């Protein structure tokens, strides 16, 4: 039995806590929000995961020291925009070599750093890993079969976290490609906004298939330019996560995109979804990375124009369709005529 703290009392942290408790571990859920902790203590249920009952012996706390000291693993499950703040807050309490697995998805706009890079910068003494994949909290909390990937700098750390989480409904693969895993998980949220916008405009399956297919091409183009492995973008944390986020109504990014396609601003859409829409925060960062690495991201560029420049969603789709003629795959040679 391991002693584990989940930092972040949102739906994803709760769903993972349920899996960890099912595996026989001692689980504490920490939140910076006193009202959230009170809700969990009183109801043993999160309002965003109705019907997912939390065990009576699961503890809930706002105490930083209680959450950090003596814990075999910290699961960083706060929204990406709070990752740096939370890591800085916990840094004095983390022992050398203490393991932290980040499960949020995003890129910091001001620095263009991934979330694991932020944690490593704020807590250099920690052993930092990541976990990502096609995994909606609503389904993980209910125990529906799910498969994800843990990435870490050392195989031993990846296997340790794999063993903590894995069970008959939660299959865990491991990978050394931490960067590729994080980029796939972050950038798919921006493409999912585009898929939702297309839904909001009333477009069909053809449009969505095109966005998913060309979207993963953009993600892999940038990811490999940055040093990620192409195989990662063909796997669970690339095309797998992109498919589920573009297709499911559990996806807050798709739901926000639908509202934007129907004419709402991104702020109005986020207010209506009532959850953090990570793709909005990653969209500008993606374009910053594209500029830095000299990579073209036409879908993500148009999402930025709709979100932040007042461009209509219909005009964005039209501009995508009327781009210069291209080869689908540039490195397949023609036979001589």
Question: Would you give the distance in Å from CA 253 to the centre of its chain?
Answer: 11
* Helix (H/G/I), strand (E/B), else coil: 315: helix
Return the structure tokens found at 274: 């009532």
Nearest-angstrom CA–CA distance, 225 and 327: 19
DSSP states along 49-89: STT-PPPTT-EEE--HHHHHTT-SEEEE-S-GGGHHHHHHH
Question: Which residue in the list 22, 95, 99, 188 is annotated as catalytic?
Answer: 188
Question: Would you give the distance in Å from CA 265 to the centre of its chain?
Answer: 22
Cα–Cα nearest to 108, from 216, 186, 192: 186
Cα–Cα nearest to 244, from 184, 200, 298: 184
Nearest-angstrom CA–CA distance, 22 and 248: 26
188 in active site: yes
Q: Which residues lie across from 114 on neighbouring strands? A: 107
Could you tell me if 222 and 290 are in contact, meaning their C-beta atoms sit under 8 angstroms apart? yes
Could you tell me if 78 and 105 are in contact, meaning their C-beta atoms sit under 8 angstroms apart? no
Give the active site residues.
188
């Amino acid at each position: 039995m391991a002693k584990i703290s989940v930092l972040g009392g949102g739906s994803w942290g709760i769903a993972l806590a349920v899996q960890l408790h099912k595996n026989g571990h001692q689980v504490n859920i920490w939140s910076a929000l006193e009202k959230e902790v009170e809700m969990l203590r009183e109801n043993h249920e999160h309002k965003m995961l109705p019907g997912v009952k939390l065990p009576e012996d699961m503890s809930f706390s706002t105490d930083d020291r209680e959450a950090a000291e003596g814990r075999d693993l910290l699961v960083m499950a706060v929204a990406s925009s709070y990752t740096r703040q939370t890591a800085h807050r916990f840094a004095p309490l983390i022992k050398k070599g203490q393991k932290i697995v980040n499960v949020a998805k995003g890129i910091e706009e001001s620095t263009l750093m991934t979330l694991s890079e932020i944690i490593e910068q704020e807590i250099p003494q920690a052993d930092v890993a990541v976990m990502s994949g096609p995994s909606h909290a609503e389904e993980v909390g209910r125990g529906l079969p799910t498969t994800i990937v843990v990435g870490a700098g050392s195989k031993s750390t990846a296997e340790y976290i794999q063993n903590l989480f894995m069970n008959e409904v939660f299959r865990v693969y491991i990978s050394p490609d931490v960067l590729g895993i994080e980029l796939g998980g972050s950038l798919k949220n921006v493409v999912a906004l585009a898929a939702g916008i297309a839904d909001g405009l009333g477009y069909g399956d053809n449009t969505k298939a095109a966005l998913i297919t060309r979207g993963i091409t953009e993600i892999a183009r940038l990811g490999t330019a940055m040093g990620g492995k192409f195989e990662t973008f063909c796997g669970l944390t690339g095309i797998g996560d992109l498919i589920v986020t573009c297709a499911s109504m559990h996806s807050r990014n798709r739901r926000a995109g639908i509202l934007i396609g129907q004419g709402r601003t991104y702020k109005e859409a986020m207010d209506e979804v009532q959850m953090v829409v990570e793709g909005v925060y990653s969209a500008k960062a993606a374009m910053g990375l594209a500029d830095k690495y000299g990579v073209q991201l036409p879908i993500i560029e148009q999402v930025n124009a709709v979100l932040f420049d007042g461009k209509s969603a219909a005009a964005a789709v039209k501009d995508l369709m009327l781009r210069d003629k291209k080869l689908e795959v540039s490195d397949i040679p023609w036979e001589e005529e």
